Amino acid sequence: MVKELLQQRIANINFLIENKENIELLYTIVLETILNNKKLLICGNGESSGIADNLAGLFVSKFKNLKNPIKAISLNSNISLITSIANDTSFDDIFKKQIENIGESGDTLIIFSASGTSRNIIEAIKQAKFQNIKVVLVTGSLKLNYAIDLEINTFGEDIEQINEMHNIIAHIICELIGSNFNS
Quote the pLDDT of residue 15.
Answer: 94
What's the pLDDT at 182?
58
Give DSSP secondary structure letters for 7-30: HHHHHHHHHHHHTHHHHHHHHHHH
Q: Which residues pair with 29 in a beta bridge?
A: none
**In the predicted structure, residue 99 carries a pLDDT above the cut 50:** yes
Tell how far CA 9 is from the center of its chain.
21
Task: Supply the pTM of this predicted model.
Answer: 0.95
For residues 152 and 172, is the Cβ–Cβ distance under 8 A? no
Look over the chain and give the mean of its residue pLDDT values, rounded to a whole number.
94
Ramachandran angles phi, psi of 51, nearest 5° = -65, -45
What are 143-179's pLDDT values in tens digits? 888 999 999 999 888 999 999 999 999 999 999 999 8
Q: Which CATH class is domain 2-178?
A: alpha beta
Average pLDDT value for residue range 20-29: 98
- Check residue 175 and report its DSSP letter: H
Tens digit of each residue's pLDDT (9 = 90 or more) over 65-91: 777 889 999 999 999 999 999 999 999
Residue-wise pLDDT tens digits, 100-123: 999 999 999 999 999 999 999 999
